[in-house]
Structure 1
Amino acid sequence: MTSFLDFEKPIAALESRIIELRETADEGSLDIESEIAKLQTKSANLLRDTYSRLTPWQKTQVARHPDRPHFKDFVAGLFEDFMPLGGDRNFGDDQAIIGGFATIGNQKVVVIGHEKGSDTESRLKHNFGMGKPEGYRKAIRLMDLADRFSLPVVTLVDTSGAFPGVSAEERGQAEAIARSTEKCLSLGVPMVAVIVGEGGSGGAVALAAAERVLMLEHAVYSVISPEGCASILWRTGDKADVAADAMKITAQNLKKLGVIDRIIKEPVGGAHRDPDLCIANLGKAIAEELKALSDVQRQELRKMRRDKFLAMGAL
């Protein structure tokens, strides 16, 4: 059963009423079936209306929904022959950032992304998708392999930010993020980055400095979380909704600002309500972008990235 968010309470009430009617209805009762049909129509209309006017803070909640598809779901649904590669050849293997060789359609690629986990055990294993230095150094190693073998790079970004712990800082977190960002910008092969959930701070940019940056319809992408911004400006996280609105973190705002290039439509009610449809939509978009970039020369790809990022914020 779908987990409902705070702003979905009216929808949850209707769905609960439908379940109650089904459980108590006499088999074959036309009156009950008619009432259920009316409630289902009302619920579907309310869901559609609610998701057509989400606020930035509500989109943030949707992007964080625990049932939203994660990296492993996208890999299972889109990529064939996935061969994960582990370790940074320096310290260890970070489970928050996963990557390896794979095939999408007939195109061989290197795919890299954040994995948040889907239950308590897996979330702890993957550190809630918060990469450590060894994770970003692993990403650099994989991008080097992609460049060497002329394979496009696809990244799936979903993190609240890089891991902020003391141990990560001691192992050079900032340097690893900077090196990963630099590697993205210097690649001589096509790179398509997709913000599939949260795109938080440098931890996201380190895998998203691509010539083509896509976002799912209800994903968010920002320099800091709304709660973090609110705690700095107002010394309380209670104004996270105000911060989210001011920061322009939604796909729709970022498309207007030129930060991203394309918005991928989600199923009505968010990706978590129909993961298979969302994954299919994403796969189609990635295939189109890779095809469009297939004949672009190495120097032109680097120029595209340079021009793209230098143009951001220009008057």
Structure 2
Amino acid sequence: MATYLEFERPIAEMTSKIEELSLMGDDADINIAEEVERLHKKRDDLVKRVYAKATRSEICQLSRHPDRPNLLDYVPLIFDDFQELHGDRAFADDAAIVGGVARFREHSVMIVGHQKGKTTKEKLHRNFGMAKPEGYRKALRLFKLAERFEMPVLTFIDTAGAWPGIDAEERGQSEAIARNLQELAKLKVPVIATVIGEGGSGGALAIGVGDRLYMQKFSTYAVISPEGCAAILWRDRKFAPEAAEALKPTAVDMQNLGLIDAIIDEPKEGAHRNVEQAAEMMADTLYKSLSELLKVPANTLLKQREQRLRDLGDFGTKA
């Protein structure tokens, strides 16, 4: 059964009507096929209207939709011969970060990304995609391994943020994130980052520095979740919609601010309604970008990456 959010309720009701009518037997007084076709067209128009007027708060809900694909949902649809690699070789294997070697069309690549999980058991095992220091150190180990074997790196961001627990702080959470930022900035292979769900705070940045940054249409990227922001500023999470408007976390907002390179389109009802089509759209964008970056010499790539990072947040008038 598909899950519908509150603002998607009109779509859910229309879908239910179509399903009920489709199950009806033939009736001499009613042409079932014609009526179903008419309702399908009406539903398509409704979908366009609902998503076109979705607020920032509603897009935040879409970015963490319970049916939204995780990284491991995309891997078999985009990559071949994926071999997962585990552990940071220092403390533990953090299941919130998934990584390994794979084939992407004719290229060997290193995949690194957050994994939230779907079932309650898996979410607990993955810590809801909130990585601890060992997760980011595992990611760093894979980044350096990719550099050693001259493999491009593709990262996939989907986290509310890094794990804020005492255990993570004791093991150097901030140092692990900062080290990843430093090392990614000077990695001698192409790095392409894609936000596929939530992009939250330093937990997202730790695998988000690279030569290209993309966002899926209904993903978000912000320093904090709207709920967290509301809890701090208003001491009440009910002000999350106001916080979302202030944060401007959507892909369109990020593109208007010049903080991402492009928006990857999604199926008309979002990636959670058609994972295969969403994967195809993402793969085409990543392949085109990767093909361009692989033609750039390493020294030039590093200079362009440095300039790209220095230009972020520069809203002043150029001399």
Q: Shorter-chain-normalised TM-score: which range?
A: over 0.9
- Separation in 1, partners of 2:27, 2:293: 57
Query: 2:286 matched to which residue of 1?
Result: 286
**Cα shift readout 1:73-112 (whole Å, capped 9, x = no counterpart):** 1111111111111110110000000101111000001110
Shift, 1:28, TM fit: 5.7
1:1-315 equivalences in 2 (<5 Å): 1-23=1-23, 25-27=24-26, 30-314=30-314, 315=316
Shift, 1:225, TM fit: 0.6
Corresponding pairs, count = 314
Q: Give the superposed CA RMSD.
A: 1.2
Q: TM-score, normalised by structure 1?
A: 0.97
Shift, 1:235, TM fit: 1.3
Instruction: Give the aligned residue type for 1:22.
Output: S
**2:26–2:32: 8 Å Cα contact kept in structure 1?**
no
Q: TM-score, normalised by structure 2?
A: 0.95
Shift, 1:21, TM fit: 2.4
**Cα shift readout 1:50-90 (whole Å, capped 9, x = no counterpart):** 11222111111111011111110111111111111111011
**Cα shift readout 1:109-154 (whole Å, capped 9, x = no counterpart):** 1110001111111111111111110000000000001111111000
Larger mean Cα displacement after TM superposition, 294-303 or 121-130:
294-303
**2:259–2:312: 8 Å Cα contact kept in structure 1?**
yes
SS in 1 for 2:76: helix
- Separation in 2, partners of 1:301, 1:160: 30
**1:218–1:270: 8 Å Cα contact kept in structure 2?**
yes
Unaligned runs of 5+ in 1: none
SS in 2 for 1:145: helix
Unaligned runs of 5+ in 2: none
- Separation in 1, partners of 2:292, 2:100: 23
- Separation in 1, partners of 2:299, 2:216: 29
Q: Percent identity?
A: 45
**Cα shift readout 1:144-187 (whole Å, capped 9, x = no counterpart):** 01111111000011011111111111111111111111111110
Instruction: Give the aligned residue type for 1:144.
Output: K
- Separation in 2, partners of 1:302, 1:254: 23
Instruction: Give the aligned residue type for 1:265.
Output: D
**2:100–2:111: 8 Å Cα contact kept in structure 1?**
yes
Larger mean Cα displacement after TM superposition, 256-265 or 37-46:
37-46
**1:68–1:271: 8 Å Cα contact kept in structure 2?**
yes
Shift, 1:22, TM fit: 2.9
**1:209–1:305: 8 Å Cα contact kept in structure 2?**
no
